[in-house]
Amino acid sequence: MTDSVHGPAFDLDDIPFSHHGSWFNLSPVTALHTRSDELHLVSHKNGMHAVLRLVPQVPGTGDRADAARHATPGLLTLQADGGRVELAYERADTLRLRGTDLNLAVVPANDRLTPFTGSYFFRDPVDGSYQFSSYETGRRYRITLLGGTIADVAGDEGLGDTPRRLSLTGSPTWEAVLEELDSARPPFTPPGTDFTTLAHRSHQAFRDFADTLTRPLSGTAPAADLAAYVLWSATVAPEGCLRRPAVLMSKHWMDKVWSWDHCFNALALAPAAPELAWDQYQLPFDHQDATGALPDSVTHSEVLYNFVKPPVHGWALRRLRERLPQPLRTGQLETAYQRLYRWTRFWLDTRRAPGQVLPHYHHGNDSGWDNATVFDPGRVLITADLAAFLILQLRELASLGRETGHLGEAEEAEATAARLLDALLDQLWDGRRFRALSAHTGRTSTSRSLLDLMPIVLGELLPPDVSGRLADGIAEHLTEHGLATEHPDSPEYEADGYWRGPIWAPSTVLIEDGLRRAGHTGLADTVSARYRSLCERSGFAENFDARTGAGLRDRAYTWTAAGYLLLADDHARRSSHRHAPGSAARAAAVTP
């Protein structure tokens, strides 16, 4: 659904109301799988924290009003009993609020204030504003009254269980501004822009971002605007451990950047927002350690290294360069080479046991497929997907090395890739599918996980009989909604089993690309079409029930939206090429 003035409408139970660059959002989702009946201001500084409850009230009585919510990129409206409260971002850290015949109470989400939890409420004698100082986020939330707004205050300077509340009221209209700030800021000065103009400006900021991204998809991708909003609204400004503008995986509880998720966001953004796309690709590399390892994840206040993620970055860099409107500059190429070289050496130097050609994972988490059935017989495994990704990364490294003058290293990378491909086929291929090997005992195992079929990502590098067998296996995982990550007939299949059944964006995108490069274009087309239709029906959830298509887990996941935009863009480009004047004649001319 699209509002002609403010853009695509969305359900706050699924997608938070936020703004590009903001570290907070408005949502009833307050924690992992936790939804409230009330709207909350949720900050993602120092983790995900519900800081304030925003409660509509009936004028005159103070009773809670049961308000309907209507959200678009530019405006959030709460409506009850003929009145309304409207909220719009003035800028990334500032909300403007306006009420007409409906009041609003601002209440700490944590009712109890201790020396280490909750929000302290007081009035600042310098500018007369009201402030909630949050222990959880380490930030302050300042509310400044505008115009003739009246504040009904309870519990200011109170401690412990003291009820704390700021109610905003006026007759018939009131206005206020809410800011997230650090220790202090000059008093708020109204910019002279009325609320309606601000809401339109916020909407226009979204449209400026989205139009370039979605215009090529006009008429072919009906969910493109909403996918663009998911990406735009989940982007935060550089702060804390994130040194660049970052597209979080979500502004629900998955509010991190994981070290393979970021690649898919970069690819989707590349044609329309190349600088932001480059930043997404580089984000985890900013925290590369001395061994060359990337962190498992990065967020506002933590960088985790206890696991890694698979080396999809060579594959992603190749596709990123294909999709960027301009070639990478010389300095960018050298940076990419050095970082990719160190990441590749990590796998070759620290994840190969003595005498082994192929590297291993320590746990399913390293693969990105945390609990896939591949890892049921053992966790420390040599798997075919890892070898395939590393082969592609070595080949991309060789190509990039020749381009940047690292000729000796390029030759070595190409030779290593060839040795890994030989070992992959010799040690792990059983004639039907790929096996896994215990890195300790050498014992082999197979599963009914889609992960065993992931080497299709090697595309044209595979012998035709191998890619054909893999394509047949992939087709068996295809439900009417997309690729199930565990075979639907498997006894280990779970409808909401994370990587033991549900459909995911990254597996879909990687396999679709590999199938297409291996020449299985019909199956690739089907995989793409079913995933795109799934998103158009069920939104941009973290993953989906493979049998019903229902969205599961976090419902505003950016790599899901990115996967949709990427596949939709590829589909639109192919369609445009097929229908271009002379394309049929050109195709006939090269047909054997």
**pLDDT given at position 191:** 80
> What's the confidence (pLDDT) of residue 589?
36
Q: Do residues 329 and 399 both lie within one domain?
A: yes
Q: Are residues 243 and 376 located together in one domain of the fold?
A: yes
Could you tell me the CATH number of the domain that includes residue 150? 2.70.98.10
Residue 209 lies in a domain: no
For residues 544 and 476, membership in a common domain is answered with yes
Query: pLDDT per residue over 2-61, tens digit each?
Result: 544 557 999 999 999 999 999 999 999 999 999 999 999 999 999 999 999 999 999 989
- The pLDDT of residue 587 is 36
Residue 68 lies in a domain: yes
Reported as a single tens digit per residue, the pLDDT across 117-129 is: 999 999 999 999 9
Q: How many CB atoms lie within 10 A of CB 279?
A: 23
Computed on alpha carbons and rounded to an integer, the radius of gyration of the chain in Å comes to 26
> Which residues, at least 6 apart from 236, have a Cβ–Cβ distance to it below 8 Å?
21, 22, 23, 44, 242, 245, 246, 248, 300
Same domain, yes or no, for 60 and 139?
yes
- The DSSP result for 179-236, as a single string, is EEESS--PPP---S--HHHHHHHHHHHHHHHHHHHHGGGTTT-TTHHHHHHHHHHTEE
Q: Looking at the structure, do residues 172 and 232 belong to the same domain, yes or no?
A: no
Together in a domain, 170 and 291: no
Q: Given this model, what pLDDT does residue 60 score? A: 87
Determine the structural domain holding residue 231 and report its residue range: 218-572
Q: Does residue 264 sit in the same domain as residue 147? A: no
What 8-state DSSP symbol labels residue 299?
Answer: E
Shared domain for 200 and 224, answered yes or no, is no
Tokens of 160: 């412990």
Q: Are residues 317 and 223 in the same domain?
A: yes
Strand partners, 99: 85, 174
Decide if 579 is inside a domain.
Answer: no
Q: d(Cα 412, Cα 398) in Å, to the nearest integer?
A: 8
pLDDT of residue 55: 97
Distance from the first to the final alpha carbon of the chain = 47
Burial of 278 (0-12, 13-18, 19+ CB in 10 A): buried
Structural domains of the chain, count:
2
Residues 340 and 468 reside in one and the same domain = yes
Domain assignment present for 564? yes
pLDDT along the chain (592 residues), means of 10: 66 98 98 95 98 96 94 97 96 97 96 93 96 97 94 94 95 95 93 90 96 92 97 98 98 98 98 98 98 98 98 98 97 98 98 97 98 97 98 98 98 98 97 95 96 98 98 98 98 98 98 98 98 98 98 97 98 83 43 29
The answer to the question of residue 476 being in a domain is: yes
CATH code of residue 446: 1.50.10.10
pTM score, whole prediction = 0.95
Question: Under a CB-based contact definition with an 8 Å cutoff, are residues 411 and 398 in contact?
Answer: yes
| E strands, 366-476, in order | 381-382, 436-438, 444-445
Residue 584 is predicted with a pLDDT of 45
CB 290 within 8 A of CB 268: no
Q: Which of 204, 230, 256 is the last residue of a domain?
A: 204
> β-strand 246-247 against 257-258: which pairing, if any?
unpaired
Q: Are residues 237 and 165 in the same domain?
A: no
Same domain membership, residue 181 and residue 70: yes
